[in-house]
Amino acid sequence: MLDWYSENMVVGCGNPLQTDDGFGPAVVSELKKIALPENVKVLDAGLAGPHYLFTLMAQSDAPVRKMVIVDILDFGGEPGQITKVTPDYLSPGSYTDDHSWGLREPLRVLAERMEIVIIGCQPECIELSRISNEDESYEFWVTDTVKKAIPKAVRLVLDEIGVDYGHTISSQKTHHGGAAGEADGA
């Protein structure tokens, strides 16, 4: 069986048809344009994030050391604002999948086996996109506000997996009291 996993996993979650919910897949699309080390795999998990996270990863032949999840996250910020959190930060019901299943507890269990970081973007809109699917000018239908956050998220992911891509990491507030892209307490 082909193993989809590696020491460092970047998993983009979301539905590109639901406007800003396509943030995770859009960031993954950008990361796939970059030559990454062999110990890094990037997955567009779409709506199947929980399945990838909880089932297949547990069956992986390759131990996963670190997983970076890229998704929208309602943390009360401004649309397009990015935060970095760990499963410990998530309050009950604050992070759910498309079927309203809470992801906090399963992620906390997985965090006992690996380091987990969530790069979350505050969405502006998660309604079904009204842009025609015949319009070829849109690869992803995220709002302009959230689209501007994609390069910042890419830099934060690269920082998390230890890839120096020659950029200064942008300063965004986290829920750990520091700035995203900086070590906690820095």
CA torsion sign, 43 to 48 to 50 to 54? negative
Confidence of residue 80 (pLDDT cuts 50, 70, 90): very high
Among 1, 25, 19, 38, CA closest to 161: 38
Look at residue 30 and tell me whether its pLDDT is greater than 90. Answer: yes
Give the pLDDT mean for 147-172: 81
Q: Are 67 and 116 in contact (CB under 8 A)?
A: yes
Taking the model in full, what pTM does it have? 0.80
Among 6, 28, 21, 23, CA closest to 157: 28
Amino acid at 88: D
